[in-house]
Chains A and B, each alone.
Chain A
Amino acid sequence: MTTATVRAAAATGTTTGSGTGTATHCPYCALQCAMTLTPEPGPAPARLSVTPRDFPTNRGGLCQKGWTSAQLLDSPERLTTPLIRDAKGGELRAAGWDEALDLVARRFAQLRGARGADSVAVFGSGGLTNEKAYALGKFARVALGTSQIDYNGRFCMSSAAAAGNKAFGLDRGLPFPVTDLDESQAVVLVGANPAETMPPLMGHFDPARLIVVDPRRTATAQAALDGGGIHLQPAPGTDLALALGLLHVALVEGYLDTPERTAYRAERTVGWEDVRQCAARWWPERTERLTGVAAADLRRAAAALARARRAHILTGRGAEQHSKGVDTVSAWIDLALALGLPGTPGSGYGCLTGQGNGQGGREHGQKADQLPGYRHIEDPAAREHIAGIWGVTPESLPGAGRSAWELLDALGTPEGPAALLVMGSNPAVSAPRARRAVERLRALDFLVVADFLRSETAELADVVLPVTMWAEESGTMTNLEGRVLRRRAAQAPPPGVRTDLEVLHGLAVRLGRSVHEFPADPAPVFDELRRASAGGTADYAGAAPELLDAGEAVYWPVRAAAGGFAREAAGGSVPEAADGFAREATGDPVRATAGGPGREAIAGSGREATSGPAPEATGDGTEALGTPRLFLDRFAHPDGRARFLPVEHRDAAELPDDEHPLYATTGRQLQHYQSGAQTRRVPELAAAAPEVYVEVHPDTARRAGLADGDTARIVSRRGAVLARTRCVASLRTDTVFLPFHFPGDGAANALTNPALDPVSRMPEFKLSAVRLERADGGAAAERKEAV
C-alpha cells in the first residue's frame, strides 16, 4: 500500500511529507479536494493528520471541513457493533453481525414472499463510492428483485441532469476541467454559493468577472461585489425568467449576431427559433417587474457575459431545487447555447455537483429509472446488456420505481414498501417536509440503516449496521468534472466495523445469491462496473485501476480499446479555439489544457465511434485520458446537435399569502455538510457553527417583534422551526433564509415543500411560504406537534 501510495503521489506531482502518508481525497463535497492522511506519532491506534495536497481542483487548499475531517474517525460516537431493536418502541441493543444480517435477510425474504418484491425498498446516496453505488443498484434489482430504489442525489442533481440530457444528450456536471474556469472572462453562477459549499473552487474565479445570481447576498455574491463583479438578486423562484430576460437583451442588443455565434447556432444546434420567441417576450422591464432585478443591471450583466471571449454559465441547487428546476436549468442552457458556449474550447455550461460522489452516484444504477453506465432501465438494449453482465435474464430485471420523495412518502402505506434499507443517507433530516418523512420511516415494518454514527435516521431503525468511514476504505469517486479518482484506505477500521460492500455481500448470500455475485472487495466490483458501463453514456471501461493508481487524469467517457484503450498523445500542444483565439502558453503545472474528445463522446453515446485517439493534453505535458472536454466536435444526440428548449416562467407551487407572507429559502453553511450528521459531531465545526439560525431583514424582524439573537418561530403549511434570529440588512424584506444542517426543532426541512418537478421529480426545497413569529409560548406546543 505504502509503495503504491508514494508512487501515485509522485505521479500526481504531490508530496506526502514523510512518505508514510496516504494520498486520498476529502470525504465531503464533489470538489473532492486532494489530501494526504498521515498517522500522527504516538501510541496506536494513531490519529490521522490531514494535509492538503496539490491537485488541479483544490491546488493545495482545504476548507475547515476538510482540515477537520479526520477528527470524526475516532469519535466516541462511532458505531462499532450492530444494533437491533427487538420491538417497536424498545431500545436499540448491541448484537453480533451474524445475528443482525440473519435478521435483516430473514425479514426481507419474508416480506418479499408475503407481499412481493416491491415491499422491500432501498435508499442510497451520492456519498457512496462508485463501487457501492453500483453494488447497491445491483443488490436491489438482483438480490431483492425490487424496483423500489432511489437515492438522495434525487434531491441534488436530478434537475440539472434532466436538463443536460435533454439539451446535450448527456449529463456530466462539468463537461470540462475545473481549471478551464481560470481563464474565463465571465462566469455566471446561478444559485450557487461555492464560497461556502466548495471554498477552494473560488480560487479558480476572478471575482471581477463573476456574475452571481442569488436572492441573498451570499459569501460568493459578496466576493463578486468586493472584487468589482456583479450580483443579481432576483426574487426566489424567478431564475428562469431572469435567464430569458438576459437572452432577450442579448437578442435585441445584437450580441447574438456575430458570425461565430450565428454559425454555431446554425451548425451545432436545433430549435433556436422557438427559443428566441420565448425570449422575445421577456423584455427587461417585464423581467424587472417579476424578478426585481433592475433592467439596467440586466443589461450590464448581459453585456459582460456576451462580450467575454470565454464565458461559463454554472448552475447550482438554488436554480435547480424547484418544481420548475428542469425548465430553469434549460433556460440557462438556452442562454449558453445562444452565446455559443457549450462545446467551445474555453467556454461552457456546467452544473456544480454537490455530494462527494454526486457525479458517479448518478451513473451506476441507484436511481429508480437507471441501469449502470447511465443507461435507462426501460431501454431493452440496456436491460439485455446489463442482464448479461449480471448473469440474469432481462425479464427478471424490474422496471422503473418511485423517485426519492415519492418512495419516502409511500413507506408503510398499503401500496408502498414495508421495509427499507438506507445506505449513506439521513432522510429524516434531509428530505423535504422532513416530519412527514420521519412519520413514514416510523410506519415501516422494518427499517435497516447502514451508517457509522447514530444519525437521526439510524435512531429510527430496527437494525443499524456499523460501517466504515472514508479513510478506512478503498474505491473510486467521480468528481464534479467527471474525473475518476482513487479513494484509498489510510487505516484499518475499528474492530466490529464492516464496509458497505461487505454488508451487501453478507445480505446477498443470505438471500440466496452466489458468493461471487456481490464481492466484498472493491477491486472486482470496479472491474464489473467497467464492463457494465462499457458502451453506455458514462463509459468507464478504460478506467483501469493501475492508471488511477498512477494518478492519471481519467475523465469519462473513457472507452476500452483493443490492447488497452484510447490514449491521447500529449506534448502540451493546444488546439486552436473554434473562434480562432489561441490559448496563452502557461507554465502552470496543474492546468489541464484543451482537447478534442468529440469522438469519445460519440462512443459514450453508444454509437459508432471513429477509431483513433482524440488529442488530450494537460499543460505540463502529461496526458489526460478519456474525455476531459465533452462536445467539442459534436453533442451526444444522434444528429450531433444540441437542443434549444423553449421554456416559460411559471409560479412556484406555493406563493406567499396573508397567512404565510414570506418566502423561505434554504441552503448551506461552510462548516456543515448535508444533514450535518457528520460535521455537527466535529467539535471545531460545531463550535464555529453551533446552531440553526434564520436570516431576516431587520425590518421584517422588527415587524415580527424580533431582535437580533432572539429565538424565532418560522411556520409553513407543513411544520415549524425554531431558530436564532440573525438580522441581515442585505436580505430582501420578503425573504428569510435557513441552513438545513440541523435536526429536531431546528430542521429547516420541516418547512419545505415536496411539490415535485414534473420531469426530474426534484422537490421544491428552495421556496416555501412561511410566517415569522416570536417563539415565546409557541415553542412547547410546537414540540408536541413535532413528535
Chain B
Amino acid sequence: MSRALNVVVVGNGMVGARLYEETLRRDQTSRRVRMTVLGAEPVGGYNRVLLPGLLSGSLTEADLTPEASGETPLATGTTVTAIDRAARTVRTADGRQLPYDRLVLATGAATAVPPLPGLRDETDGGGGVLARGVTALRTLADARRLRRLADRARAVGARIAVLGGGVLGLEAARALVARGVAVTVVHPAPHVMDRQLDAPAGRVLGRALRRTGIEQRLGVMAVRWEPGKGLHLDDGSVLAAAGLLLCTGARPETGLAEECGLKTSPAGIAVDDTLTTSDPDIYALGDCADAEPGLVQPGWEQAAVLAGRLTGEDPYARYLGSPRVTRLKAAGIELACLGDPFVADDGFAGHAPAGGAGPAQGGLGEGDFPDDGGPEVLRLEDPARERYAKLVLHGDRVTGAILLGVPDAAAGLVQLYDKGAPAPSDRLALMLGRALPPESAGEAGEALPDHAMVCRCNSVTKGALRSAWYDGARSARELADATRATTGCGGCRGAVEKIAAWLAETDPLSSRDTPATTAPR
C-alpha cells in the first residue's frame, strides 16, 4: 500500500480549516492523506457572518473561529515565506523547509484599502498599519478592534462611519446599530448594494435601513480621514465620526503564488474547475483563487470538492461554480438577491412583458411566455411596506431575483435557483412565498362541499353528516353517535356543531319534531 499523500495547506482561515475538516471526514484514519495546515495568524480566520452575534455579546470568539480539534496539525503563527516548486517544499519564516506532495493555497484576501489620505498610520513608515480610529473587517483582530471602536463611540455618543454600502458594510452597520452605536454608511453610487440591486430595490432598501437607524450618504466619495474629526466627503462636507470602518472590497492574496511563478491575475490565482493552478501539484481555493469571489459558502463548497479529490473519495469532483445568491444578514431586513436580476427595461415600468406574466394559478401554458426569446419579468413594488419583489425567468427557470420583505418567497426561490429546478406556474404564489389558501377549513355550512372531510379521525364527510341528519340524527351529539364524527381527537366538534346548526336552519323538517325521513342509505 502506498504511503499517505503529504498535503500542506497554506492559510488557516475559514476555507483552510474547512478543507482539513472535510478531508478528515473522508479519511478518518489519515491513511490516504496526511495534512498540515500552516497559518500566519495566531488564530484562525473567523466567520464574518457571525459578527453581529459577537458584537452583541451573544456569541464568543470561539464560536466564530473554526474549531481546531486537539489533533489538528495546525501550525498557527507560521508564516510561509516562499515556495520551491522544483523541490516541492515551502519555507517558513522561522527557517524550516517543509516538503509536500501537494500544496494548497488558501491565503484568502486582504482588505483593499482605498488610497485616501489619513487611512494609514504615518508613524509606521508606510507599512500596512491603519491609522488610529480606522479598521477593516477581515480578521478576528479586526473584529476586536471594531468592537473597541464601537464601544468608545457609544460611550461618548459619537458616530461610526462605514465606507462602502455593499453587503459587508450594511451587515456591519446593522450589527453596530444593534450594539447601540450611531452609524452612517457612505457609498459612492446613488443607492446601496448597487452590484446586486436595481434602482427601485435600492431605494426601498435605503428606506428600510433608515428605519433600523442606519443613516446613509449616497452618491458621494470620501476624500480624507481626519482623526478626531471625521470623514471628509467630495461635496465639501465632513461626516463627524469617531471611527471609520472600511468595507471597500478585498484583494486576493497572491504574493506567494506570483513569486513562485504561478499564473495569477487581479481576480486571483488562476485555477481550473479542479481548483488546480498552473502547477499540477498546487491547488488554490477560497478568496485567493479566481474561481469565485467573496463569500463563505463557495469556499466551503470548493473545500468539499478538493477534499474529495485529495482523498480519492471522489477523484473526478469538479467545482462548477456556486449559484450566485446574496442574502443580507441584517436583523429586521429580509433581502435575497439571486443570479442576474437586471433586465433591459430596468428603470421604466411601462413595458409589461407579453402576456402580462399572468399570476393567475394554473392559467399559464407554454404559449403564454414571451415568444421573443426575452425574459419574463415580474415585479411587485410596495415601498410603503418596504417590499420589493422582482423575478426574472427564462422559460420556466428563475435566472435572477430580488426579494425584499418577502421572506417566505426568498426561501423557496433560493432552493429552486440552487437546484435549477423549474418554477411553479403559480407565479403569484412564487412571489409571495406561499400557495394561495386552499378551501378554508373554517367553513362549515353551505359553502363546504359534500366531499369535504369534517372528521378526519373517522373519515366523516359533510355529506355523511347530512345523510345522518336526514336519517334522523338531529343534534351534534346524535350526529356523533351516528357517524362517529368528533369521537377521535375531538378537534372537529365545533365544525360538527356548526353543521348541525346549519342543517337545523335549512332543513324544513327539522323545525318540528318530525321523525326522520326514511330513505335508506
Chain A contacts to B: CB under 8 angstroms:
52, 59-64, 67, 195-196, 199-203, 207, 219, 222-223, 226, 235, 251-254, 257, 273, 276-277, 280-281, 283-286, 288-289, 292-297, 656, 661, 670-671, 688-689, 697-699, 702-703, 729-730, 733-734
Contact = CB atoms under 8 A, between A and B. Distances in A.
Interface in B101-117: none
A689 B407 CA distance: 37
B72 to A, nearest CB: 14
A294 B410 contact: yes
A297 B412 CA distance: 12
B49 interface: yes
B487 A61 contact: yes
B128 interface: no
B456 A199 contact: yes
Given A61-B488, A252-B52, A277-B63, A199 B457 contact: yes
A774 B487 CA distance: 40
Interface string B392-429: 00000000000000011011101110110110111000
B56 A288 contact: no
Contacts of A251: 53, 58-59, 63
A200 B489 contact: yes
B334 A295 contact: yes
B415 A697 contact: no
Contact of B424 (A67, A273, A697): A697
A698 B457 CA distance: 26
Contact of B435 (A223, A273, A294, A730): A730
A257 B415 CA distance: 33
Given A226-B441, A730-B435, 19 more contacts: A60-B487, A61-B487, A61-B488, A61-B490, A62-B488, A67-B484, A195-B491, A222-B441, A284-B329, A285-B327, A289-B297, A292-B414, A293-B411, A294-B408, A294-B433, A296-B407, A656-B419, A697-B424, A733-B416
Contacts of B407: 294-297
B411 A292 contact: yes
B431 to A, nearest CB: 14
A67 B487 contact: yes
28 contacts: A63-B457, A64-B457, A64-B484, A195-B491, A199-B488, A203-B489, A226-B441, A252-B50, A252-B58, A252-B59, A253-B58, A277-B63, A280-B50, A280-B53, A281-B47, A289-B327, A289-B414, A294-B410, A295-B334, A297-B407, A661-B421, A670-B459, A698-B425, A699-B422, A702-B425, A729-B426, A729-B435, A730-B435
Interface of B: 47, 49-50, 52-53, 56, 58-59, 62-64, 67, 297, 325, 327, 329, 334, 362, 407-408, 410-412, 414-416, 418-419, 421-422, 424-426, 433, 435, 438, 441-442, 456-459, 484, 487-491
Contact of B458 (A63, A235, A257): A63
B329 A285 contact: yes
B418 A283 contact: no
Contact of B487 (A52, A281, A697): A52
Contacts of A235: 415
- Among B414, B418, B459, the most chain A Cβ lie within 10 Å of the Cβ of B459
A199 B424 contact: no
Contact of B59 (A62, A280, A286): A280
Contact of B414 (A252, A288, A688): A288
B52 to A, nearest CB: 7
B489 A202 contact: yes
Nearest to B413: A292
A514 B422 CA distance: 68
A670 B456 contact: yes
Contacts of B49: 283, 285-286
Contacts of A730: 435, 438
Nearest to B419: A734
Contact of B329 (A283, A656, A689): A283
Contact of A276 (B63, B422, B426, B484): B63
Given A203-B490, A203-B491, A288-B411, A703 B422 contact: yes
Nearest to A194: B489
B393 to A, nearest CB: 13
Contacts of A222: 441
Contact of A288 (B362, B410, B421, B490): B410
A281 to B, nearest CB: 7
Nearest to A646: B67
Contacts of A703: 422
B66 to A, nearest CB: 9
B103 to A, nearest CB: 27
A113 B272 CA distance: 63
Closest 10 CB pairs of A and B: A202-B489, A280-B63, A296-B407, A294-B411, A199-B457, A285-B327, A688-B459, A199-B488, A294-B407, A252-B53
A289 B49 CA distance: 14
Contacts of A699: 422, 424-426
A59 B491 CA distance: 13
B467 to A, nearest CB: 15
B440 to A, nearest CB: 9
B455 to A, nearest CB: 9
A277 B488 contact: no
- Among B325, B407, B414, B422, the most chain A Cβ lie within 10 Å of the Cβ of B407
B489 A201 contact: yes
B58 A61 contact: no
A52 B435 CA distance: 39
Contacts of B424: 697, 699, 733
Contacts of B433: 294
Contacts of A697: 424
B297 A286 contact: yes
A297 B438 contact: no
Nearest to B453: A219
Contact of A283 (B50, B412, B489): B50
Contacts of A284: 329
B493 to A, nearest CB: 10
Contacts of B56: 252, 254
B53 A733 contact: no
A734 B411 contact: no
- Among A235, A288, A689, the most chain B Cβ lie within 10 Å of the Cβ of A288
Contacts of B415: 235, 289, 292, 734
Nearest to A198: B489
Contacts of A219: 456
Contacts of B488: 61-64, 199-200, 202
A317 to B, nearest CB: 19
- Among B63, B414, B418, B489, the most chain A Cβ lie within 10 Å of the Cβ of B489
Contacts of A201: 489
